[in-house]
Chains A and B, each alone.
Chain A
Protein backbone atom coordinates (compact mmCIF):
# COMPACT_ATOMS: atom_id res chain seq x y z
CA UNK A 1 0.00 0.00 0.00
CA UNK A 2 2.63 2.46 -0.99
CA UNK A 3 1.36 5.79 -2.08
CA UNK A 4 3.61 7.91 -4.15
CA UNK A 5 4.48 11.42 -3.20
CA UNK A 6 2.57 12.68 -6.19
CA UNK A 7 -0.59 10.85 -5.10
CA UNK A 8 -0.35 12.37 -1.71
CA UNK A 9 0.08 15.86 -3.11
CA UNK A 10 -2.87 15.43 -5.38
CA UNK A 11 -5.07 14.31 -2.54
CA UNK A 12 -3.91 17.08 -0.27
CA UNK A 13 -4.64 19.63 -2.88
CA UNK A 14 -8.02 18.21 -3.76
CA UNK A 15 -9.49 17.20 -0.45
CA UNK A 16 -7.28 19.01 1.97
CA UNK A 17 -5.32 22.05 1.02
CA UNK A 18 -7.94 23.42 -1.28
CA UNK A 19 -10.58 23.68 1.40
CA UNK A 20 -8.46 25.93 3.53
CA UNK A 21 -6.49 27.74 0.88
CA UNK A 22 -9.07 28.17 -1.82
CA UNK A 23 -11.60 28.60 0.94
CA UNK A 24 -10.29 32.04 1.77
CA UNK A 25 -12.86 33.88 -0.29
CA UNK A 26 -14.24 37.32 0.30
CA UNK A 27 -17.49 37.99 2.11
CA UNK A 28 -17.23 41.73 1.99
CA UNK A 29 -20.39 43.19 3.38
CA UNK A 30 -19.73 43.66 7.07
CA UNK A 31 -15.99 44.27 6.83
CA UNK A 32 -13.74 47.17 6.13
CA UNK A 33 -12.43 47.11 2.54
CA UNK A 34 -8.96 46.07 3.64
CA UNK A 35 -10.47 42.92 5.09
CA UNK A 36 -12.15 41.96 1.87
CA UNK A 37 -10.71 38.50 1.92
CA UNK A 38 -12.22 36.59 4.78
CA UNK A 39 -12.73 32.97 5.44
CA UNK A 40 -16.05 31.31 4.96
CA UNK A 41 -16.73 28.66 7.57
CA UNK A 42 -16.35 25.42 5.68
CA UNK A 43 -18.83 23.63 7.89
CA UNK A 44 -21.47 26.31 7.48
CA UNK A 45 -24.06 23.97 5.98
CA UNK A 46 -22.83 20.79 7.63
CA UNK A 47 -24.94 18.14 9.31
CA UNK A 48 -23.64 17.15 12.73
CA UNK A 49 -23.63 13.66 14.26
CA UNK A 50 -22.60 12.87 17.85
CA UNK A 51 -19.87 10.27 17.97
CA UNK A 52 -17.18 8.80 20.21
CA UNK A 53 -13.43 8.63 19.73
CA UNK A 54 -12.33 5.11 18.66
CA UNK A 55 -8.83 5.27 20.16
CA UNK A 56 -8.27 4.85 23.93
CA UNK A 57 -10.82 4.10 26.60
CA UNK A 58 -11.49 7.58 27.94
CA UNK A 59 -14.59 7.85 25.75
CA UNK A 60 -14.15 11.39 24.47
CA UNK A 61 -17.25 12.59 22.67
CA UNK A 62 -16.85 14.02 19.20
CA UNK A 63 -18.97 15.77 16.63
CA UNK A 64 -18.81 14.47 13.08
CA UNK A 65 -19.78 17.07 10.50
CA UNK A 66 -20.71 16.14 6.96
CA UNK A 67 -21.23 18.25 3.89
CA UNK A 68 -23.13 16.58 1.04
CA UNK A 69 -22.81 13.25 2.82
CA UNK A 70 -19.00 13.48 3.03
CA UNK A 71 -17.14 13.90 6.30
CA UNK A 72 -15.81 17.43 6.47
CA UNK A 73 -14.63 17.77 10.05
CA UNK A 74 -14.41 15.78 13.29
CA UNK A 75 -13.68 17.52 16.57
CA UNK A 76 -14.40 17.31 20.29
CA UNK A 77 -17.95 17.70 21.57
CA UNK A 78 -17.89 20.66 23.98
CA UNK A 79 -20.90 19.27 25.86
CA UNK A 80 -19.15 16.12 27.03
CA UNK A 81 -18.32 15.86 30.74
CA UNK A 82 -15.41 13.57 29.79
CA UNK A 83 -13.50 15.83 27.44
CA UNK A 84 -15.40 19.14 27.27
CA UNK A 85 -14.54 19.51 23.61
CA UNK A 86 -10.87 18.66 23.98
CA UNK A 87 -9.02 15.80 22.28
CA UNK A 88 -5.53 14.33 22.14
CA UNK A 89 -3.55 14.26 18.86
CA UNK A 90 -5.03 10.90 17.88
CA UNK A 91 -8.55 12.08 18.61
CA UNK A 92 -7.83 15.21 16.62
CA UNK A 93 -6.80 12.98 13.70
CA UNK A 94 -9.97 10.82 13.55
CA UNK A 95 -10.85 12.64 10.34
CA UNK A 96 -7.79 11.10 8.72
CA UNK A 97 -8.95 7.60 9.71
CA UNK A 98 -11.91 8.20 7.42
CA UNK A 99 -10.58 10.45 4.69
CA UNK A 100 -7.20 9.02 3.81
CA UNK A 101 -5.60 8.03 0.51
CA UNK A 102 -4.01 5.04 2.26
CA UNK A 103 -7.36 3.55 3.08
CA UNK A 104 -8.06 0.13 1.57
CA UNK A 105 -11.53 -0.32 0.11
CA UNK A 106 -11.32 -3.72 -1.65
CA UNK A 107 -11.44 -7.28 -0.41
CA UNK A 108 -8.11 -9.03 -0.93
CA UNK A 109 -7.48 -12.77 -1.20
CA UNK A 110 -4.23 -14.68 -1.11
CA UNK A 111 -4.45 -18.28 -2.30
CA UNK A 112 -2.35 -20.86 -0.39
CA UNK A 113 1.29 -20.43 -1.40
CA UNK A 114 0.52 -17.56 -3.79
CA UNK A 115 3.00 -14.71 -4.15
CA UNK A 116 0.48 -11.91 -4.27
CA UNK A 117 -2.98 -10.66 -3.42
CA UNK A 118 -5.90 -10.87 -5.74
CA UNK A 119 -8.89 -8.54 -5.46
CA UNK A 120 -12.02 -10.53 -4.68
CA UNK A 121 -15.69 -9.78 -4.84
CA UNK A 122 -17.13 -9.25 -1.35
CA UNK A 123 -19.89 -11.86 -1.75
CA UNK A 124 -17.50 -14.48 -3.06
CA UNK A 125 -15.17 -13.91 -0.15
CA UNK A 126 -17.98 -14.15 2.41
CA UNK A 127 -19.20 -17.42 0.98
CA UNK A 128 -15.70 -18.86 0.99
CA UNK A 129 -15.11 -17.83 4.62
CA UNK A 130 -18.41 -19.40 5.69
CA UNK A 131 -17.41 -22.60 3.90
CA UNK A 132 -14.03 -22.68 5.66
CA UNK A 133 -15.52 -22.03 9.10
CA UNK A 134 -17.97 -24.89 8.59
CA UNK A 135 -15.31 -27.24 7.26
CA UNK A 136 -12.88 -26.59 10.13
CA UNK A 137 -15.62 -26.80 12.74
CA UNK A 138 -16.98 -30.06 11.41
CA UNK A 139 -13.51 -31.61 11.19
CA UNK A 140 -12.47 -30.72 14.71
CA UNK A 141 -15.66 -30.70 16.77
CA UNK A 142 -15.41 -32.53 20.12
CA UNK A 143 -18.71 -33.76 21.59
CA UNK A 144 -17.13 -35.54 24.55
CA UNK A 145 -13.62 -35.61 25.93
CA UNK A 146 -11.88 -38.96 26.16
CA UNK A 147 -12.83 -39.02 29.83
CA UNK A 148 -16.49 -38.79 28.83
CA UNK A 149 -17.23 -35.21 29.81
CA UNK A 150 -19.57 -33.55 27.31
CA UNK A 151 -18.02 -30.37 25.93
CA UNK A 152 -19.61 -29.67 22.51
CA UNK A 153 -16.77 -27.48 21.35
CA UNK A 154 -13.90 -27.00 18.96
CA UNK A 155 -10.51 -25.63 20.08
CA UNK A 156 -9.32 -25.38 16.47
CA UNK A 157 -10.83 -22.07 15.37
CA UNK A 158 -9.53 -18.89 16.97
CA UNK A 159 -11.33 -15.57 17.04
CA UNK A 160 -9.11 -12.64 17.95
CA UNK A 161 -10.03 -8.99 18.37
CA UNK A 162 -12.79 -6.85 19.68
CA UNK A 163 -11.52 -4.32 22.20
CA UNK A 164 -11.70 -1.49 19.69
CA UNK A 165 -15.10 -2.66 18.48
CA UNK A 166 -18.64 -2.01 19.59
CA UNK A 167 -20.62 -3.72 22.32
CA UNK A 168 -23.14 -4.83 19.72
CA UNK A 169 -20.44 -6.53 17.69
CA UNK A 170 -18.96 -8.16 20.76
CA UNK A 171 -22.37 -9.55 21.58
CA UNK A 172 -23.29 -11.03 18.23
CA UNK A 173 -19.78 -12.24 17.59
CA UNK A 174 -19.38 -14.10 20.88
CA UNK A 175 -22.90 -15.42 20.39
CA UNK A 176 -22.10 -16.77 16.93
CA UNK A 177 -18.81 -18.25 18.08
CA UNK A 178 -20.20 -19.90 21.21
CA UNK A 179 -23.26 -20.97 19.26
CA UNK A 180 -20.94 -22.84 16.90
CA UNK A 181 -18.91 -24.29 19.79
CA UNK A 182 -15.89 -22.05 19.17
CA UNK A 183 -14.49 -21.20 22.61
CA UNK A 184 -11.13 -19.61 21.77
CA UNK A 185 -12.38 -16.05 21.68
CA UNK A 186 -9.90 -13.37 22.71
CA UNK A 187 -9.26 -9.66 22.45
CA UNK A 188 -6.70 -7.07 23.50
CA UNK A 189 -7.85 -7.16 27.12
CA UNK A 190 -5.54 -10.18 27.43
CA UNK A 191 -2.38 -8.47 26.30
Chain B
Protein backbone atom coordinates (compact mmCIF):
# COMPACT_ATOMS: atom_id res chain seq x y z
CA UNK B 1 0.00 0.00 0.00
CA UNK B 2 1.25 3.52 -0.72
CA UNK B 3 1.80 5.77 2.29
CA UNK B 4 -0.72 8.44 3.33
CA UNK B 5 -0.71 11.42 1.02
CA UNK B 6 -2.09 14.89 1.40
CA UNK B 7 -1.74 18.65 1.23
CA UNK B 8 0.24 21.06 3.35
CA UNK B 9 -0.90 24.61 2.63
CA UNK B 10 1.49 27.37 3.69
CA UNK B 11 -0.79 30.39 3.88
CA UNK B 12 2.13 32.81 4.34
CA UNK B 13 3.12 32.44 0.69
CA UNK B 14 -0.38 32.36 -0.80
CA UNK B 15 -0.81 35.28 -3.22
CA UNK B 16 -4.55 34.72 -3.58
CA UNK B 17 -4.32 34.19 -7.33
CA UNK B 18 -6.99 31.46 -7.36
CA UNK B 19 -5.07 29.32 -9.86
CA UNK B 20 -5.95 26.39 -7.58
CA UNK B 21 -9.67 27.09 -7.95
CA UNK B 22 -9.49 27.16 -11.73
CA UNK B 23 -7.01 24.29 -12.16
CA UNK B 24 -9.34 22.18 -10.04
CA UNK B 25 -12.28 23.12 -12.24
CA UNK B 26 -10.32 22.41 -15.40
CA UNK B 27 -9.26 18.97 -14.31
CA UNK B 28 -12.55 18.01 -12.71
CA UNK B 29 -14.62 19.83 -15.32
CA UNK B 30 -16.73 21.70 -12.79
CA UNK B 31 -19.09 24.48 -13.88
CA UNK B 32 -19.07 28.04 -12.57
CA UNK B 33 -21.78 29.54 -10.39
CA UNK B 34 -24.66 30.63 -12.58
CA UNK B 35 -22.61 30.02 -15.71
CA UNK B 36 -20.07 32.58 -14.52
CA UNK B 37 -22.60 35.39 -14.00
CA UNK B 38 -22.19 35.83 -10.27
CA UNK B 39 -22.33 38.93 -8.07
CA UNK B 40 -19.65 41.00 -6.41
CA UNK B 41 -19.57 39.89 -2.77
CA UNK B 42 -18.00 43.05 -1.38
CA UNK B 43 -15.88 40.85 0.89
CA UNK B 44 -12.37 41.64 -0.25
CA UNK B 45 -11.48 39.67 -3.40
CA UNK B 46 -13.53 36.59 -2.49
CA UNK B 47 -16.41 36.13 -4.89
CA UNK B 48 -16.88 32.36 -4.79
CA UNK B 49 -17.53 32.53 -1.04
CA UNK B 50 -17.19 28.91 0.10
CA UNK B 51 -16.41 25.34 -0.69
CA UNK B 52 -19.33 23.46 -2.23
CA UNK B 53 -20.21 20.87 -4.85
CA UNK B 54 -18.68 22.88 -7.69
CA UNK B 55 -15.95 24.69 -5.75
CA UNK B 56 -13.54 22.10 -4.41
CA UNK B 57 -10.90 24.74 -3.75
CA UNK B 58 -11.70 28.14 -2.34
CA UNK B 59 -9.38 31.06 -1.57
CA UNK B 60 -10.22 33.15 1.47
CA UNK B 61 -9.16 36.79 1.89
CA UNK B 62 -8.83 38.43 5.30
CA UNK B 63 -7.94 42.13 5.53
CA UNK B 64 -6.39 43.25 8.81
CA UNK B 65 -5.45 46.92 9.01
CA UNK B 66 -5.55 49.38 11.86
CA UNK B 67 -7.12 52.75 11.24
CA UNK B 68 -3.77 54.53 10.83
CA UNK B 69 -2.38 51.78 8.54
CA UNK B 70 0.61 51.43 10.85
CA UNK B 71 -0.09 47.72 11.05
CA UNK B 72 -1.56 45.88 8.17
CA UNK B 73 -1.73 42.55 6.51
CA UNK B 74 -3.87 40.79 3.95
CA UNK B 75 -4.13 37.10 4.74
CA UNK B 76 -4.98 34.64 2.01
CA UNK B 77 -5.66 30.97 2.30
CA UNK B 78 -6.62 28.30 -0.19
CA UNK B 79 -9.14 26.05 1.55
CA UNK B 80 -9.97 22.48 0.59
CA UNK B 81 -11.31 19.22 2.02
CA UNK B 82 -9.23 18.18 5.02
CA UNK B 83 -9.27 14.45 4.21
CA UNK B 84 -9.61 13.77 7.96
CA UNK B 85 -8.19 10.55 9.35
CA UNK B 86 -11.42 10.28 11.35
CA UNK B 87 -13.84 11.55 8.72
CA UNK B 88 -17.37 12.38 9.83
CA UNK B 89 -18.70 12.34 6.29
CA UNK B 90 -17.51 8.82 5.73
CA UNK B 91 -19.00 7.64 8.98
CA UNK B 92 -22.49 8.98 8.34
CA UNK B 93 -22.74 8.04 4.68
CA UNK B 94 -25.59 5.52 4.48
CA UNK B 95 -24.82 4.19 1.00
CA UNK B 96 -21.11 3.56 1.35
CA UNK B 97 -20.45 6.10 -1.36
CA UNK B 98 -17.70 7.73 0.71
CA UNK B 99 -14.57 5.67 0.87
CA UNK B 100 -11.07 5.88 2.25
CA UNK B 101 -8.56 5.28 -0.53
CA UNK B 102 -5.23 3.52 -0.48
CA UNK B 103 -3.65 6.99 -0.07
CA UNK B 104 -5.61 7.56 3.17
CA UNK B 105 -7.69 10.20 1.42
CA UNK B 106 -11.47 10.47 1.46
CA UNK B 107 -13.38 10.21 -1.82
CA UNK B 108 -17.08 10.36 -2.66
CA UNK B 109 -18.01 7.91 -5.38
CA UNK B 110 -20.48 9.85 -7.41
CA UNK B 111 -22.13 6.83 -8.97
CA UNK B 112 -22.96 5.38 -5.56
CA UNK B 113 -24.00 8.62 -3.86
CA UNK B 114 -27.76 9.18 -3.67
CA UNK B 115 -27.59 12.87 -2.76
CA UNK B 116 -29.02 12.36 0.75
CA UNK B 117 -26.98 15.27 2.17
CA UNK B 118 -26.05 13.54 5.43
CA UNK B 119 -22.36 14.08 4.82
CA UNK B 120 -22.96 17.79 4.25
CA UNK B 121 -24.18 18.21 7.79
CA UNK B 122 -21.58 15.86 9.18
CA UNK B 123 -18.54 17.77 7.93
CA UNK B 124 -17.28 20.15 10.63
CA UNK B 125 -15.52 22.24 7.97
CA UNK B 126 -18.45 22.80 5.62
CA UNK B 127 -16.60 21.29 2.72
CA UNK B 128 -19.24 19.21 0.98
CA UNK B 129 -22.30 20.22 -1.00
CA UNK B 130 -24.42 18.97 -3.85
CA UNK B 131 -23.07 19.43 -7.35
CA UNK B 132 -26.13 20.65 -9.25
CA UNK B 133 -25.02 18.91 -12.43
CA UNK B 134 -24.84 15.44 -10.94
CA UNK B 135 -27.23 15.95 -8.08
CA UNK B 136 -24.78 14.16 -5.82
CA UNK B 137 -22.60 15.31 -2.95
CA UNK B 138 -19.17 16.33 -4.13
CA UNK B 139 -15.90 17.66 -2.84
CA UNK B 140 -12.17 17.45 -3.45
CA UNK B 141 -10.96 13.95 -4.33
CA UNK B 142 -7.33 14.99 -3.90
CA UNK B 143 -7.31 14.16 -7.62
CA UNK B 144 -7.52 10.47 -6.91
CA UNK B 145 -7.32 9.70 -10.63
CA UNK B 146 -4.13 11.73 -11.03
CA UNK B 147 -2.57 10.31 -7.88
CA UNK B 148 -3.11 6.80 -9.13
CA UNK B 149 -1.26 7.76 -12.30
CA UNK B 150 1.59 9.28 -10.29
CA UNK B 151 0.56 12.84 -11.09
CA UNK B 152 0.34 15.80 -8.70
CA UNK B 153 -3.21 17.01 -7.97
CA UNK B 154 -4.20 19.81 -10.31
CA UNK B 155 -4.31 22.57 -7.67
CA UNK B 156 -0.89 21.79 -6.20
CA UNK B 157 0.57 21.51 -9.68
CA UNK B 158 -0.78 24.93 -10.65
CA UNK B 159 0.06 26.84 -7.45
CA UNK B 160 2.73 29.35 -8.56
CA UNK B 161 4.21 30.10 -5.15
CA UNK B 162 4.22 26.60 -3.64
CA UNK B 163 1.64 27.55 -1.06
CA UNK B 164 -0.07 24.24 -1.80
CA UNK B 165 2.34 21.38 -1.22
CA UNK B 166 1.45 17.82 -2.09
CA UNK B 167 3.23 14.67 -0.96
CA UNK B 168 3.51 11.95 1.67
CA UNK B 169 2.11 13.28 4.94
CA UNK B 170 5.31 12.32 6.75
CA UNK B 171 7.46 14.50 4.48
CA UNK B 172 4.95 17.34 4.47
CA UNK B 173 4.98 17.45 8.26
CA UNK B 174 8.77 17.73 8.33
CA UNK B 175 8.70 20.48 5.73
CA UNK B 176 5.95 22.34 7.56
CA UNK B 177 7.73 22.08 10.90
CA UNK B 178 10.92 23.48 9.37
CA UNK B 179 8.96 26.36 7.89
CA UNK B 180 7.35 27.18 11.24
CA UNK B 181 10.81 27.28 12.80
CA UNK B 182 12.13 29.48 10.02
CA UNK B 183 9.25 31.91 10.52
CA UNK B 184 9.74 31.93 14.28
CA UNK B 185 13.41 32.68 13.64
CA UNK B 186 12.41 35.64 11.51
CA UNK B 187 10.18 37.02 14.21
CA UNK B 188 6.86 35.65 12.92
CA UNK B 189 5.95 34.29 16.33
CA UNK B 190 2.33 33.61 15.42
CA UNK B 191 3.06 30.90 12.88
CA UNK B 192 1.72 27.44 13.74
CA UNK B 193 0.34 24.31 12.12
CA UNK B 194 -3.36 23.58 12.08
CA UNK B 195 -4.41 19.94 11.88
CA UNK B 196 -0.94 18.46 11.57
CA UNK B 197 -1.14 16.36 14.72
CA UNK B 198 -3.43 13.50 15.61
CA UNK B 199 -5.38 15.43 18.22
CA UNK B 200 -7.52 16.98 15.51
CA UNK B 201 -9.79 14.24 14.15
CA UNK B 202 -6.90 11.83 14.11
CA UNK B 203 -4.96 14.28 11.96
CA UNK B 204 -5.94 16.22 8.87
CA UNK B 205 -4.38 14.93 5.69
CA UNK B 206 -4.75 18.44 4.45
CA UNK B 207 -3.22 20.70 7.07
CA UNK B 208 -2.27 24.36 7.20
CA UNK B 209 0.34 26.80 8.35
CA UNK B 210 -1.54 29.77 9.82
CA UNK B 211 -0.45 33.02 11.46
CA UNK B 212 -3.68 33.90 13.24
CA UNK B 213 -6.41 32.10 15.18
CA UNK B 214 -8.33 29.42 13.22
CA UNK B 215 -11.56 31.40 13.51
CA UNK B 216 -9.97 34.26 11.57
CA UNK B 217 -9.69 31.89 8.63
CA UNK B 218 -13.18 30.50 9.19
CA UNK B 219 -11.82 27.25 10.58
CA UNK B 220 -13.22 25.62 13.74
CA UNK B 221 -10.70 25.76 16.60
CA UNK B 222 -11.82 22.36 17.80
CA UNK B 223 -13.64 20.42 15.06
CA UNK B 224 -15.80 17.53 16.30
CA UNK B 225 -17.10 14.34 14.84
CA UNK B 226 -20.84 14.54 14.12
CA UNK B 227 -23.26 13.15 16.65
CA UNK B 228 -24.65 9.77 15.68
CA UNK B 229 -28.17 11.02 16.04
CA UNK B 230 -28.93 11.43 12.38
CA UNK B 231 -31.89 9.09 12.34
CA UNK B 232 -34.22 10.99 10.12
CA UNK B 233 -31.67 11.72 7.51
CA UNK B 234 -30.33 8.20 7.54
CA UNK B 235 -33.70 6.68 7.08
CA UNK B 236 -34.37 8.96 4.19
CA UNK B 237 -31.02 8.03 2.75
CA UNK B 238 -31.58 4.32 3.09
CA UNK B 239 -34.75 4.72 1.14
CA UNK B 240 -32.91 6.85 -1.32
CA UNK B 241 -30.31 4.19 -1.82
CA UNK B 242 -32.98 1.85 -3.05
CA UNK B 243 -34.50 4.23 -5.52
CA UNK B 244 -31.30 5.99 -6.32
CA UNK B 245 -32.26 7.01 -9.84
CA UNK B 246 -35.43 8.76 -8.83
CA UNK B 247 -33.90 10.54 -5.91
CA UNK B 248 -31.00 11.65 -8.02
CA UNK B 249 -33.35 13.16 -10.53
CA UNK B 250 -35.40 14.98 -7.92
CA UNK B 251 -32.30 16.22 -6.25
CA UNK B 252 -30.85 17.42 -9.52
CA UNK B 253 -33.96 19.41 -10.30
CA UNK B 254 -34.40 20.96 -6.92
CA UNK B 255 -30.78 21.94 -6.57
CA UNK B 256 -30.67 23.49 -9.99
CA UNK B 257 -33.34 25.94 -9.03
CA UNK B 258 -31.48 27.00 -5.96
CA UNK B 259 -27.93 27.04 -7.09
CA UNK B 260 -27.58 27.30 -10.81
Contacts and interface: CB of A to CB of B under 8 A. Distances in A.
Q: Do A and B touch directly, given a CB cutoff of 8 Å in the complex?
A: yes
Contact of B157 (A18, A31, A39, A86): A86
Contacts of B34: 5
B160 A20 contact: no
B256 interface: yes
B29 interface: yes
Contact of A37 (B111, B133, B158, B159): B111
A25 interface: yes
A87 B19 contact: yes
Given A40-B145, A92-B19, A35 B99 contact: yes
A86 B144 contact: no
Contacts of A5: 34-35, 260
B111 A25 contact: yes
Interface in A80-96: 83, 85-93, 95-96
A86 B159 contact: yes
Interface in A27-45: 31-32, 34-35, 37-42, 44
Contacts of A23: 145
B110 A21 contact: yes
Interface string B62-98: 0000000000000000000000000000000000100
Contacts of B133: 9, 12-13, 16-17, 21
B30 A37 contact: no
Contacts of B109: 24, 37
Nearest to A18: B29
A8 B30 CA distance: 12
Interface residues of B, number: 42
Interface stretch (B146-154, B167-175, B189-197, B219-227): B146-154
Interface string B15-30: 0011101110011111
B206 interface: no
Contacts of A17: 29-31, 131, 133-134
Interface stretch (A70-78, A104-112, A149-157): A70-78
Nearest to B21: A89
B44 interface: no
A97 to B, nearest CB: 11
Nearest to A72: B29
B102 interface: yes
A136 to B, nearest CB: 39
21 contacts: A5-B260, A9-B256, A12-B29, A17-B131, A18-B29, A20-B30, A21-B133, A24-B111, A34-B96, A34-B100, A35-B102, A38-B101, A41-B149, A74-B26, A86-B159, A87-B19, A87-B158, A89-B17, A89-B22, A92-B19, A95-B26
Given A17-B133, A22-B111, 4 more contacts: A8-B35, A24-B109, A32-B102, A74-B26
Shortest 8 CB-CB contacts between residues of A and residues of B? A39-B145, A37-B109, A16-B29, A92-B22, A17-B133, A8-B35, A92-B23, A89-B22
Interface of B: 17-19, 21-23, 26-31, 34-35, 96, 99-102, 109-112, 131, 133-134, 136, 141, 144-146, 148-149, 151-152, 154, 157-160, 256, 260
